[in-house]
Each structure stands twice: as structure tokens, then as C-alpha cells.
Structure 1
Amino acid sequence: MPIKESELILNPDGSVYHLNLKPENIADTVILVGDQNRVERISKHFDSIEFQTQKREFKTHTGYYKGMRISVLSTGIGPDNIDIVVNELDALVNIDLESRKPKENLKSLNIIRVGTSGSLQKDIPVDSFVLSQYGLDLNGMLHFYQIDSIKNPDVEEAFIKQTNWSKNKATPIVIENSPKLEKILESDGVFKGMTATAGGFYGPQGRVLRLPVQNPDLNHNMDTFNFKGLRVTNLEMETSAIYGLSKLLGHNAVSLNAIIANRATGNFSENPGKAVDDLILYTLNKIVE
């Protein structure tokens, strides 16, 4: 049966509704960034740009870097936006948009997040890079999908116990990255660990302005969490959603973050722009190696 128009919404030109993209507009390797202004910071390194579009916060450039076709797409902030982006990217490659039916032969995209984040560990300093071996989902968006096949119950149960996780919050989910992409993007100078993904910037990440939080000790409890050497290295708002949806849909995903703040020490990068630019070039050159 064809997917209903109300479920898979297309623009009048046949492009997917939010991303404003057609299948021919994206490469098999897609770099995701949060900030739409970061798209140009990546594509300026391209040898050529063949396609550009933007709708709302979703901005896409597709072109070539050292002979390799790459798309860069801005997601905006948060797991709700990731739900839109990854589902529509998958629709572009795995659903026939004319017949509205899934294709028989499915394609796996390589999805790489290049973002910024705050470290939760004193020994992971500002301006360093973190590669997320696992995404720790704290926001609950993935619970709307059938996720039993991608969960890691032993780690999840240990996290709930060690952090005194409230039953009133969404149950944490732990999702592994793509080992294939990890091998491509790792190096001795890059930290690895588990990246926690919150559903907000202030209370969900333990920041207090005028509103008290449910558990003032949560960040400290996450700092000290350890499961067979696996610890929570950093905290942001996209990684676990990218990992979960990519895993469910059959895509490869990995997340790289430039650390611009250290929550454990209170330090903030003196030049966060340089840290991001350094990570951009690191990622591009690792991809084409």
C-alpha cells in the first residue's frame, strides 16, 4: 500500500516537505551540523558546489571535496529536529516518492554529525574532540519507535541505578555508533566515550537560572557514572537521536563534537570558532582518506 499523503508530505515540486530536497540532491555521505551558518563553513572547503537549498533551519549544500561527493545539512537544535531530518533523508533514498512505496533494495547512508558540546570530565579539556561510541538518550523521543533491537539494557540499568534516575523521566536508552565509521574517523588525539543527549539546554542539562531542577546532583552523578570503563564524556542535544533512528533505518552514523565548554571545571573555550573549524577539516580529511 502506498504511504498516505498525510504521512509522507511532499512539496509541489516533489521534494520532501521540511528539507526541500529531491533524491538526486543528496550524496551518500551526509554531514549534519546544528547551526545553519556552519554549512558554509564546511562547503567553503569544497572543490565545487552543485546544489544549494534552504527551508526554515534546514540548509543543504551538496558538492565535492577532493573528488568525493558530500552533502552538508543543518538540523537546528534538538532531538525533535533530528526526527525530521533522519526520517526525510531515509525517505529520499529508500522510498519511491512517486509511488509512495518503500524500495525493494534499500540504501545505507553514512551520516556524520559535526557539532559542539560540553565535556563532563575534567580530563577532557576545551578545544579537544570527542567521538561518541554510544549515544545516551535522556530525552524520550526514541520511545515512540520500536527500539528493543537497538537498546543496551545492561548499561541502561546501571545508569539508572548509579544516577538515581527519576521514574518520572523518560527511561534512558543507550545506542551504539557505527563501528565502520568510527574506524574511519578515530585517531589517537580524539577522546571516546558515551555522549548524553538531553531534550533541552537549561533544566535538562542541569543549568539553573530561576527554575530549580528535579535533581540538582544529576550532572555530578553522570560525571561519576562508570560501566566497565564506559563513562559519560559529554552532553549535547542530538547524538542519541541520530544513532537511534539511523540504527533502526539501517544507516551508518557517528558523532564528533568539538568541546567548547567543560562543565566539570567551568572553563569555556577562548576561541570556539577555531575549535569548530579544526574539527571540520579533521572530519573532511578523514572521510576522503
Structure 2
Amino acid sequence: MPIKQSELILNPDESVYHLNIKPAHIASTIIFVGDQDRVDKITQYFDSIEFTTQKREFKTATGHYKGKRLTVISTGIGPDNIDIVVNELDALVNINLETREIKKNHTSLNIIRIGTSGSLQKEIPINSFLLSSHGLDLNGLLHSYQIDEISNPEIEAAFVKHTNWSSKKSYPIVISNGDTLANKMASKKVYQGITATAGGFYGPQGRVLRLAIQDPNLNHKIDSFNFNGNKITNLEMETSAIYGLCKLLGHNAVSMNAIIANRANGTFSENPGKIVIDLIEYTLQKLVE
């Protein structure tokens, strides 16, 4: 049965609504960045660029790096934007946009997030790289989908107990990365750990300006969580949404984090731009090895 126009919205040129791109515009390996200005910081290394467009905060560029076709997309900030980007990318490869029917042969994308984050553990210093072994959904986005087959109830229950998680909040969900892609990105210089994904930057991440927060001790509880040696190493706003949606849709995903702050000791990188460039160069090279 064809998907209704109200559910899969297309532009007059038949491109997907928010991203403003067509199937031919994307590669099978896609790099996500939050900041639209970071797209050019990646494509400056490309040998050639064949396509670029932008609509709102979603900037897309496709080209070749050392013979490998890659797409870079800026997602903006937050899990809600990830919901848009991942679903529309999947539609480009797994739905026939003319007939609006799901294709019989599934296409799997490789999606790599390159983002910045703050470490929650003293032993993970600023100016380091971190690969997210899991995404911990603290924002509730994934509850909109059927997630039982991809969640990790033992870790989730241990986290709820350890933090005395409020029953008024969305139940935490833990999703693992795409291990094949993660193995490709890993090395001795890359830390690994669970990445918590919040739905906001201030209160949801324990920052206090003029508003009191529901649990002022939550960050310490998160820092001290340990499940069979697995610690929560950093906090940001996209990883769990990427991991969850990609698992559900049959895509491979890994989140690479440039650690620009250490919240355990209150330090911040003196040159955050450099560590981001270093991570870009590292990730690109790993993709062509």
C-alpha cells in the first residue's frame, strides 16, 4: 500500500521535504555533523564535490575522498532533528518515491557522527577522541517507536536503580552502536564508553543558571554509574537517537566525539577547533583504510 502524502512529504521537485535532496544525491556512507559550518571543514579534504544544497540547518554535500564517495550532512542540534534526518535518509534509499511503496530490497547506510562533547570521567581528558559504545536515551524520543528488540533492559534497570530515576521522566533506553562500523573506527588512541543523550543543553544536562533542576545530584549519579565495567563517559544531544533509529531501520551507525570539555574537573579545551579538525582527519582516513 502506498505511503500517504501527509506521511511522506515531498517537495515539488520530488526531493524529501526537510533535507531537500533526492536519492541520487547521497552516498552509502554519510557523515553527520551538528554545525552547518562544519560541513565545509570536512569537504575541504575532498578530491571533488559533485553536489551541495541547504535547507534550513540541513546542509548536504556529496563528493569523493581518496576515491570513496561520501556525503556530509549537518543535522542541527538535538534528537528531534535526528528523527527528521535519519527517517528522510532511509526514505531516499528504501522507499520508491514515485510509487510511495517500500522497496523489496533493503539498502543499509553507514552513518558516522562527528561531534563535540564533554567528558564525565576524570580519566578521559580534553582534546581526546571517544567512540560511543552505546547511546543512553534520556530524552524519550525512541519511545515513539517499537524498541523492545533493540534495547538493553539489564543496563537500563541498573541505571534507573542507581540514579533513583524519576517515574515522571521518560524511561531510559540503551542502544548499542553498529559494531562493524565501530570496529573500523576504533584504535588505541580512541576511548570508548556509554554516551548519554539529553533533550536539552541546560537543565537536561544538569546546568543551573536561574532555574532549579529536578535532581541536582543527577550528574554525579550518572558519573558514578558502572555496569560490568561500562561507564557513562560523556553527555551530548544526538547519539542515542542516531543509534536507535539506525538499528530499527537496518543501518550501521557510530558516534565519534571530540572531547572539548571535562565536566569532572571543570576544564575546557584551549583550542577546541583543533581537536575537531584532528577527529575529522582521523575519521576520513579510517573510512578509506
| TM-score, scaled to structure 1 | 1.00
1:38 aligned partner: 38
Partner AA of 1:94 in structure 2: N
**Distance in 1 separating the partners of 2:189 and 2:236:** 21
**Distance in 2 separating the partners of 1:166 and 1:259:** 29
Residue 213 of structure 1 deviates from its aligned partner by: 0.4
**Distance in 1 separating the partners of 2:168 and 2:263:** 25
**Distance in 2 separating the partners of 1:179 and 1:10:** 33
Q: Deviations over 1:60-111 (max 9, x none)?
A: 0000000000000000000000000000000000000000000000100000
1:277 aligned partner: 277
Q: Please state if 1:27 is matched with 2:22.
A: no
2:87 aligned partner: 87
1:267 aligned partner: 267
2:123 aligned partner: 123
1:193 aligned partner: 193
**Distance in 2 separating the partners of 1:28 and 1:114:** 17
**Distance in 2 separating the partners of 1:77 and 1:182:** 23
User: 1:197-216 residue pairs with structure 2 within 5 A?
Assistant: 197-216=197-216
1:232 aligned partner: 232
Q: Deviations over 1:111-162 (max 9, x none)?
A: 0000000100001011101100100000001100000011100000000001
Cα RMSD between the aligned structures?
0.4
1:219 aligned partner: 219
**Distance in 1 separating the partners of 2:12 and 2:200:** 34
Q: Deviations over 1:5-47 (max 9, x none)?
A: 0000000001000000100000000000000000000000000
Residue 236 of structure 1 deviates from its aligned partner by: 0.1
User: 1:133-148 residue pairs with structure 2 within 5 A?
Assistant: 133-148=133-148
1:104 aligned partner: 104
**Distance in 2 separating the partners of 1:163 and 1:270:** 33
**Distance in 2 separating the partners of 1:91 and 1:185:** 26
Equivalent residues, number:
289
1:53 aligned partner: 53
- Aligned sequence identity (%): 72
Residue 164 of structure 1 deviates from its aligned partner by: 1.2
2:176 aligned partner: 176
Gaps of 5+ in 1: none
Could you say what secondary structure the match of 1:240 adopts?
helix
Could you say what secondary structure the match of 1:235 adopts?
strand
**Distance in 2 separating the partners of 1:12 and 1:203:** 40
2:151 aligned partner: 151
Residue 163 of structure 1 deviates from its aligned partner by: 1.0
Gaps of 5+ in 2: none
Partner AA of 1:256 in structure 2: M
Residue 52 of structure 1 deviates from its aligned partner by: 0.2
1:258 aligned partner: 258
| TM-score, scaled to structure 2 | 1.00
Partner AA of 1:250 in structure 2: G
2:14 aligned partner: 14
**Distance in 1 separating the partners of 2:66 and 2:97:** 31
Could you say what secondary structure the match of 2:156 adopts?
helix
